[in-house]
Amino acid sequence: MKKGMKKSTKNTLELIIMYAIIAVMFVVIFYPLVWAFGLSLNPTSSMFGASMIPSEPTLEHYRWLFFDERSNYLLWYRNSIVVALATSFFATLIVSLTAYAFSRYRFRGRKNGLYAMLLLQMFPVLMAMVALYILLNTVGLLDSLVGLTLIYIGGAVPMNAFLVKGYFDTIPRELDESARIDGAGHFRVLFQIMLPLAKPILSIVALFNFMTPFMDFILPRIILRSPENFTLALGLFNFVNDQFANNFTRFAAGAILIAVPIATVFLLLQRYLIGGLTAGATKG
């Protein structure tokens, strides 16, 4: 009897602790979002005179972003979406080809190549900034969305290829052999068998690479110079810089709208994401 009561008390205590942790994480995640949304509805431009729940909410800042002739927000939005779509598509394609080669082929230097992909992730991106700047300047792609996209794609390959390779290793090789008996080549095996079965991990790769151009500031800051080539992160920086007199409320409105394309892609891929989040851990 006492043993059962102790067990019940222990389970209740564990449940309380679990809910307490969830509540803390909920506050940590959503409090800044609520503040940003409330800030975007404040009629003032200063952060210090604003409140989380404005007494006189207004959509003026959103209207200014979309309709004011002085605003380049829609141009920055278009640039970010173009870079994000190109990065997501080509990075996922190249990662798939690379992972398939490492998973299904046996060649000299294969193991060292896998270690090299992991080793590349141990060095911060800032170490390569000078080299990337010189490289893009040499090939004439500095201050170019093409150059920025190529850097994003190249940076996405090593770690993602390692993860996708681990997922490919879990797919039985018998499927490959059966397809080759029917006359299928490597590309047909990849595109008709491997990729459909690997949708969960590929969805994760596509989503993360789609998000990067919207979130990254340092790389566009170094590569891009012309305002018409700015991405959203770099363009919104001007709202809290001296150009727009530290307009934090417009910055908040622009930042809130960044979530729209990311949430859209997330909803389109959600059926595959749960499986993909736990995939790719197998090392071969």
pLDDT of residue 283: 41
pLDDT of residue 4: 55
pLDDT of residue 180: 82
pLDDT above 80: residue 10? no
Amino acid at 111: K
pLDDT above 50: residue 49? yes
Q: What tens digit of pLDDT does each residue of 55-94 get? A: 788 888 899 889 888 888 999 999 999 999 999 999 999 9
When mean pLDDT is compared over 121-130, 209-218, 233-242, the highest value belongs to 209-218
Q: Which of these ranges, 45-59, 88-102, 260-274, has the smallest mean pLDDT?
A: 45-59
Q: Is the pTM of this model over 0.85?
A: no
pLDDT above 80: residue 277? no
Residue 267 banded pLDDT, cuts 50, 70, 90: confident
Closest CA to 73 of 236, 248, 249: 236
- Average pLDDT of the segment spanning 21-25: 90
Integer Cα distance of 150 and 225 in angstroms? 17
CB 251 within 8 A of CB 175: no
Integer Cα distance of 98 and 164 in angstroms? 9
CATH dotted code for 70-277: 1.10.3720.10
Q: What tens digit of pLDDT does each residue of 25-38 get? A: 888 888 888 888 88
For the chain, the structural domain boundaries read: 2-62, 70-277
Q: Which residue has the higher pLDDT, 230 or 54?
A: 230
Summary mean pLDDT of the chain = 83
Mention every residue, 6+ apart, whose C-beta is less than 8 A from residue 17.
none
Q: Which tokens in the block code for residue 155?
A: 């940076």
Q: What tens digit of pLDDT does each residue of 187-205 get? A: 888 888 888 888 889 999 9
Q: Which tokens in the block code for residue 97?
A: 């080809």
Rg (CA), the chain: 24
pLDDT of residue 281: 43
pLDDT of residue 3: 55
pLDDT of residue 110: 79
Q: CA 203 → CA 84, 168, 207, 220, 252, distances in Å?
A: 14, 14, 6, 25, 29
Residue 242 banded pLDDT, cuts 50, 70, 90: low
